[in-house]
């Protein structure tokens, strides 16, 4: 994977091992299937969702990543696949996981750090 630059509130993050860009439609409350069996989408907006993962990071780097993504809302600069350019948008963070592995004494690493960020 090419070097993907991500900054959180102006702080550069390590290049993620996995970066998955997504776009979610927001539908109006009256959307849905009606008696005529036609689905009425009624899209009222769209929001970005980015799935991020870092593999095999040491505890110091893991801590840096988790602390950066910890505030309720964050400003993230990232490569946006729809616009084809780097953009800065406000996101909140979903549930975070960081399974831990010990390969040998003195080399504690996280197997991975993964979570989604969703545009506010």
For residue 61, the model assigns a pLDDT of 95
Long-range contacts of 9-12 (CB under 8 A, 24+ apart): 9/68, 9/71, 9/74, 9/75, 10/75, 11/68
Between these two residues, 85 and 98, which has the higher pLDDT value?
Answer: 85
State the Cα–Cα distance between residues 57 and 51, nearest whole angstrom: 17
What's the pTM value of the predicted model, to 2 decimals? Answer: 0.85
For residue 38, the model assigns a pLDDT of 79
Q: Which residues contact 27 (CB under 8 A, 6 or more apart)?
A: 41, 42, 43, 44
**DSSP string of 84-115, one letter each residue:** TEEEEEEEEE---B--EEESSTT-EEESEEEE
Predicted confidence band of residue 110 (pLDDT cuts 50, 70, 90): confident
Reply yes or no on whether the pLDDT at 86 is more than 90.
yes
Query: Are 43 and 52 within 8 A, CB to CB?
Result: no
Q: Is 101 exposed, middle or buried (0-12, 13-18, 19+ CB in 10 A)?
A: exposed
Mean pLDDT, residues 80-93 taken together: 97
Query: Are 40 and 32 within 8 A, CB to CB?
Result: yes
Reply yes or no on whether the pLDDT at 1 is more than 60.
no
Reply yes or no on whether the pLDDT at 75 is more than 50.
yes
Kindly report, residue by residue over 10-43, the tens digit of the pLDDT: 999 999 999 999 999 988 888 777 777 777 888 8
For residue 16, the model assigns a pLDDT of 96
């Amino acid at each position: 994977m090419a070097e993907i630059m991500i900054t959180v509130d102006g702080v550069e993050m390590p290049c993620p091992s996995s970066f998955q860009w997504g776009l979610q439609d927001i539908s109006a409350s009256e959307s849905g299937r009606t008696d005529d069996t036609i689905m009425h989408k009624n899209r009222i907006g769209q929001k970005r969702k980015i799935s991020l993962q870092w593999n095999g990071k040491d505890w110091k780097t893991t801590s840096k990543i988790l602390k950066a993504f910890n505030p309720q809302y964050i400003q993230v600069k990232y490569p946006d696949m729809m616009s084809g350019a780097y953009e800065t948008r406000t996101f909140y963070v979903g549930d975070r996981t960081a399974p831990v592995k010990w390969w040998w004494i003195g080399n504690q690493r996280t197997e991975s750090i993964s979570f989604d960020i969703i545009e506010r």
